[in-house]
Amino acid sequence: MRPLHLADIETAARALVLIRAEDRAAVMQDMIAKAALADRYRIAHGRPHPLFGTGTLMSCALRRAVAPRPAALGPDVLHALAIATRELRGFYMHQFQ
Each residue's pLDDT tens digit, 66-91: 999 999 999 999 999 999 999 999 99
Q: Show the 3-state SS of 34-71.
A: HHHHHHHHHHHHCCCECCCECCCHHHHHCCCCCCCCCC
Entry field: residues in the chain = 97
Would the pTM of this model clear 0.85, i.e. be above it? yes
- 70 against 96, higher pLDDT: 70
pLDDT digits (tens, 9 = 90+) for 6-23: 999 999 999 999 999 999
Q: How large is the average pLDDT for residues 38-60?
A: 97
How far is 2 from 75, CA to CA, in rounded Å?
A: 29
Domain regions of the chain by residue span: 6-95
Strand, coil or helix: 35: helix
